């Protein structure tokens, strides 16, 4: 397992061992087959106390595997399951270890249409992307409403949102990252690729030309504000991240003059009925034909180097972690 330790305020990551008896309490013990890397894992691994309060700690907010022990009537030994979000990998020992022990209420039975590996290609990032698309559909934003702007499109959430939208018949305008990945985004199905500068208004105008039927925003800050100000009448924009900024430099005009709706996306505490519906959509209508286009698979030994790449903004798509047998 990956263990992050606080050594005089220097946070060091290494592979170590821990007894199953040292895992936190919970009704369900899962043998982890695959995990994945998300930005929250990077924060936990680098000592962000807003994510993880106590160290040493095993990060990993995603896990897929087989139930080995259960004290719950709804989850049985031998069940193939997915555990994402809630407190997993934050203050509860996470999926970058061979075993997790969690409350039964955190466990989703893995849909038959997904392998363990495929479920972790999606993971929290993919679930967040799918939940964003689910909300657009729920609020009546279909392909006929026009292009959907996806910010942070080279990252995990953005890549999968772009691919799901394209598969569902939407035209996607994808915002390129710091590193030029235009061909990658077109390969995912984007119809148009624009730069961060093009997606960010600097004029300060209260409203901008109507361009988008809706948006899936991962970054927050000025790009989210620009997207809202550029969305057509009655459009919907979802927001799930703040890598760009947690501030929103905006006025009320898009909401009261164009009836734009802003929907917050919280995958961590999403109610289980909605969570299960979205996972079923991922395993069926929204299952990607070739998810390997956006996927890098690494062993546990490669996690630390991959986290460094994410910190340097040199990664794209999704990273799945295969746990030792």
* Same-domain check for residues 53 and 134: no
Q: Quick one: average pLDDT of 141-166?
A: 96
Q: Quick one: average pLDDT of 135-152?
A: 97
Residue 280 lies in a domain: no
Q: Quick one: average pLDDT of 132-141?
A: 98
Res. 325: pLDDT tops 90:
no
d(CA 191, CA 166): 8
Instruction: Give counts: helices (H), strands (E), the chain.
Output: 8, 15
* Same-domain check for residues 137 and 254: yes
pLDDT in tens, 173-192: 999 977 778 999 999 999 99
Tokens 């679930």, residue located: 127
Q: Quick one: average pLDDT of 196-224?
A: 96
Cα angle at 280 between 278 and 282, to 5 degrees? Answer: 70
Confidence band, pLDDT 50/70/90 cuts, at residue 314: confident
Which CATH number belongs to the domain containing residue 131 in this structure? 3.40.50.720
Which helix (H) or strand (E) is 224 found in, with range?
helix 221-229
When mean pLDDT is compared across 144-158, 216-230, 311-325, the lowest value belongs to: 311-325
Of the three residues 246, 264, 282, the one that is the final residue of a domain is: 264
Q: Quick one: average pLDDT of 228-236?
A: 98
Residue 95 lies in a domain: yes
* Same-domain check for residues 230 and 301: no
* Closest-CA residue to 39 (of 89, 111, 92, 107): 89
* Same-domain check for residues 51 and 142: no
Which CATH number belongs to the domain containing residue 43 in this structure? 3.90.180.10
* Same-domain check for residues 35 and 136: no
* Same-domain check for residues 97 and 130: no
* Closest-CA residue to 40 (of 56, 29, 51): 51
Residue 68 lies in a domain: yes
* Same-domain check for residues 165 and 256: yes
The full DSSP string for 253-271 is HHHHHS--EEEE---TT--
Residue 269 lies in a domain: no
Q: Quick one: average pLDDT of 84-93?
A: 96
d(CA 59, CA 48): 12
pLDDT in tens, 14-63: 999 989 999 999 999 999 999 999 989 999 999 999 999 999 999 999 99
pLDDT value at residue 56:
95
d(CA 216, CA 237): 6
Question: Cα–Cα distances in Å, from 237 out to 90, 125, 212, 228?
Answer: 28, 18, 9, 7
d(CA 91, CA 87): 6
Sign, Cα dihedral of 26, 52, 219, 289: negative
Confidence band, pLDDT 50/70/90 cuts, at residue 316: confident
* Same-domain check for residues 102 and 205: no
> Which structure tokens are listed for 114?
């997904």
The helix/strand/coil state of 158 is helix
pLDDT value at residue 180:
79
d(CA 81, CA 281): 16
Cα angle at 190 between 175 and 149, to 5 degrees? Answer: 45
Confidence band, pLDDT 50/70/90 cuts, at residue 8: confident
pLDDT value at residue 103:
97
The strand ranges marked E within the chain are: 2-7, 10-15, 28-36, 62-70, 80-84, 99-102, 107-109, 148-150, 172-175, 192-194, 212-217, 231-239, 261-264, 295-299, 318-322
* Same-domain check for residues 62 and 91: yes
Beta strands 261-264 and 295-299 are: unpaired
Question: Cα–Cα distances in Å, from 244 out to 197, 210, 219?
Answer: 13, 23, 5
pLDDT value at residue 90:
97
Residue 145 lies in a domain: yes
Res. 315: pLDDT tops 90:
no
Domain count, the chain: 2
Res. 239: pLDDT tops 90:
yes
* Closest-CA residue to 239 (of 259, 225, 250): 225
Residue 179 lies in a domain: yes
* Same-domain check for residues 43 and 104: yes
Q: Quick one: average pLDDT of 74-95?
A: 96
The full DSSP string for 37-84 is --HHHHHHHTT-TTT--SSSB---SEEEEEEEEE--SSS-TT-EEEEE
Confidence band, pLDDT 50/70/90 cuts, at residue 269: very high
* Same-domain check for residues 255 and 203: yes
238 is in which domain, residue-wise?
125-264
Residue 284 lies in a domain: no
Q: Quick one: average pLDDT of 152-175?
A: 96
Residue 27 lies in a domain: yes
* Same-domain check for residues 149 and 234: yes
Q: Average pLDDT, whole number, for the chain?
A: 95
């Amino acid at each position: 397992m990956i263990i992050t330790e606080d050594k005089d305020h220097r946070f060091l990551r290494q592979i170590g061992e821990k007894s199953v008896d040292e895992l936190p309490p919970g009704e369900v013990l899962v043998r982890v087959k695959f995990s994945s890397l998300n930005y929250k894992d990077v924060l936990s691994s680098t000592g962000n106390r807003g994510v993880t309060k106590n160290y040493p700690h095993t990060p990993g907010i995603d896990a897929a595997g087989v139930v080995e022990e259960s004290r719950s009537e709804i989850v049985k030994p031998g069940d193939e399951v997915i555990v994402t979000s809630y407190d997993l990998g934050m203050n509860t020992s996470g999926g970058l270890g061979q075993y997790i022990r969690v409350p039964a209420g955190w466990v989703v039975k893995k849909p038959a249409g997904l392998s363990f590996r495929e479920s972790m290609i999606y993971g929290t990032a993919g679930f967040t992307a799918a939940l964003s698309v689910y909300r657009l559909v729920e609020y009546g934003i279909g392909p006929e409403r026009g292009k959907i702007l996806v910010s942070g499109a080279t990252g995990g959430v953005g890549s999968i949102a772009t691919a799901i939208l394209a598969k569902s018949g939407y035209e996607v305008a994808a915002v390129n990252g710091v590193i030029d990945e235009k061909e990658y985004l077109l390969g995912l199905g984007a119809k148009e690729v624009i730069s961060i500068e093009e997606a960010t208004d600097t004029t300060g105008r209260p409203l901008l030309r109507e361009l988008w039927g809706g948006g899936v925003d991962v970054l927050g800050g000025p790009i989210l504000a620009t997207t809202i100000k550029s969305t057509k009448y009655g459009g919907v924009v979802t927001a799930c991240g703040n890598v760009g900024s947690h501030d929103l430099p905006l006025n009320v005009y898009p909401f009261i003059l164009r009836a734009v709706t802003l929907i917050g996306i919280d995958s961590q505490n999403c109610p289980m009925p909605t969570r299960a519906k979205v996972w079923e959509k991922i395993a069926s209508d929204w299952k990607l034909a070739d998810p390997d286009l956006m996927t890098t698979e690494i062993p546990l030994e490669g996690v630390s180097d991959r986290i460094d790449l994410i910190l340097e903004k040199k990664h794209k798509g999704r990273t799945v972690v295969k746990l030792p047998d």
